[in-house]
Amino acid sequence: MIFKLAWRNIWRNRRRTFITAASILFAVMFASVMESLQRGAWNNMINNVVNFYYGYAQVHQRDYWEDKSLDLAMPLTDSLQALAANTEVVEAIVPRLESFGLASTGDQTFGVMVVGIDPEREQAFTGLADRLYEGAYLKPGDDGALLASGVADRLNLGVGDTVLLISQGYHGVNAAGKYPVRGLIDFPSPELDKQLLYLSLPTAQYFYGATGMVTTAALQIRNADALPRLKRTLSAELDTTYYAWHDWTEMMPELLEAKALDSAGNVIVYLLLYLIIAFGIFGTILMMTQERQYEFGILTSIGMRRGRLGSVIWLETVMLGIIGAVAGILVSIPIVYYLKRNPIQFSGAYATMLEQYGFEPIFPAQFDWNIFGTQALLVFIVTALLGLYPLWRISRLKPVEAMRA
């Protein structure tokens, strides 16, 4: 009965109901679409950055991440390799042996980061071969090196020349070797461009005296959505007395911070938006309460308790909110879906920059039911709170005075 009464009351003033519901609809639509685009953009960005080098998660020896010391390398065991075969979520294990060294031509010496890689898996993971601009990519077990263009320039080396490497190897052994330059690669990030030098994994292991060892096992997964499942798998499968794993939020905290900062800006926009909507809804409630004083007087006179009457009126407000929110979500779904299928294409300087990094300059929207759910929840909270106003009025209502008006 309460429900029926509330429902019919909503449609008493159709025009007002439509206007109020429409304002909620637009707020929900605006916020959902914005949020979907924003999140989509961030996910795309994170996906790009993450797949640039680190991956969504990496496994290391337990203490490696703090020190990044070669001495904390781990053996690339079969059980570690088997993670990819045994779990659905891990698509590939990408092994790396990463350490520092001095590259030299005899008269010039320059600090570099030496990365030993499995050329094929590395290519599948980060598309390293696509960055090659001269020479050839490494073959499995290759005894040559790939140089980032910044390194090559500094040392004045070209394809076919020989680079000398010296370093401290695994547990303090002396490391030295001569490697023919097989190819030159180009990184858009100057930071990386002036320090990377790639060897094949066995060559790097031999150089550092770390046979069978790696410092890093990067985990290739399909996309960010698989990350929660990956975390569950790792928690279950990984021997944490020896290994530790880090996801991208730990490896690149500044990226997460930037995202959080951006989201915080949005929260302010949404707050303002809902504040405006709240004023609109409140206006409706105010008019409705005013107009229906007489009716409230009759209802309490004939024996309807204030609490009961109050629940009818509260329900009216909340139902109005729900109607608006549901309509808003129904309108947003196809829009967001469309923007996911047909991502917004960027152009101009920004697009060029993205392309230099090897990123596609597109921002697909993210379709996530949570986004719609959050909007619906916000509308519900706003209306549920505003709906308290008539309750307060009814609690103070004097039937005789209400009916005299």
Partner 1 sequence: MAVITTRGITKTYNPDTIPVHALNGVDLDIEKGEFTAIVGPSGSGKTTLLNIIGGLDRPSEGKVIVGGQPIEELSENKLIDFRKDHIGFVFQAYNLIPVLTALENVEFVMLLQKRPAAERRERAMELLRAVGLEDKVNKRPSELSGGQQQRVAVARALAPKPTFILADEPTANLDSTSTAQLLDIMAELNHRESVTFLFSTHDQRVIDRARRIVTLVDGRIDEDVQQSQPATS
The footprint of partner 1 (CB under 8 A) covers 1, 5, 8-9, 12, 294-295, 298-308, 398-400, 403
Environment class of 375 (CB within 10 Å of its CB; exposed 0-12, middle 13-18, buried 19+): buried
Alpha-carbon span 135 to 184, nearest angstrom? 6
Q: Give whichever of 51 and 293 is closer to partner 1, judged by the CB atom.
A: 293
CB of 288 to partner 1, least distance (A): 13
Cα-to-chain-centroid distance, residue 232: 18
Q: Give whichever of 153 and 295 is closer to partner 1, judged by the CB atom.
A: 295
CB of 301 to partner 1, least distance (A): 5
Output 139-144 pairs: Cβ under 8 A, ≥24 positions apart.
Answer: 139/200, 140/200, 141/200, 141/202, 141/203, 142/182, 142/199, 142/200, 142/203, 143/179, 143/180, 143/200, 143/203, 144/179, 144/180, 144/181, 144/182, 144/199
CB of 17 to partner 1, least distance (A): 13
Q: Give whichever of 73 and 318 is closer to partner 1, judged by the CB atom.
A: 318
Neighbours of 334 (CB within 10 A): 9
Q: Give whichever of 1 and 261 is closer to partner 1, judged by the CB atom.
A: 1
Q: Give whichever of 222 and 404 is closer to partner 1, judged by the CB atom.
A: 404
CA dihedral angle for residue 30, residue 33, residue 35, residue 41, rounded to 10 degrees:
-140
Alpha-carbon span 309 to 298, nearest angstrom? 11
Alpha-carbon span 330 to 320, nearest angstrom? 15
Q: Give whichever of 14 and 260 is closer to partner 1, judged by the CB atom.
A: 14
Q: Give whichever of 293 and 383 is closer to partner 1, judged by the CB atom.
A: 293
Tokens of 111: 């600090």
> Interhelix angle for 388-395 vs 306-341, to 10°?
170
Q: Give whichever of 135 and 399 is closer to partner 1, judged by the CB atom.
A: 399
CB of 308 to partner 1, least distance (A): 7
CB of 305 to partner 1, least distance (A): 5
Tokens of 131: 């960055």
Over its C-alpha atoms, the chain yields an Rg (Å, rounded) of 31
Alpha-carbon span 329 to 35, nearest angstrom? 13
Q: β-strand 174-185 against 145-148: which pairing, if any?
A: parallel
Give the residues across from 97 on adjacent strands. 116
Q: Give whichever of 299 and 339 is closer to partner 1, judged by the CB atom.
A: 299
Alpha-carbon span 42 to 8, nearest angstrom? 44
Q: Give whichever of 10 and 90 is closer to partner 1, judged by the CB atom.
A: 10
CB of 322 to partner 1, least distance (A): 19
Q: Which of these, 236, 247, 204, 249, lies nearest to 100 by C-alpha position?
A: 204
Neighbours of 36 (CB within 10 A): 24
CB of 25 to partner 1, least distance (A): 24
CB of 304 to partner 1, least distance (A): 6
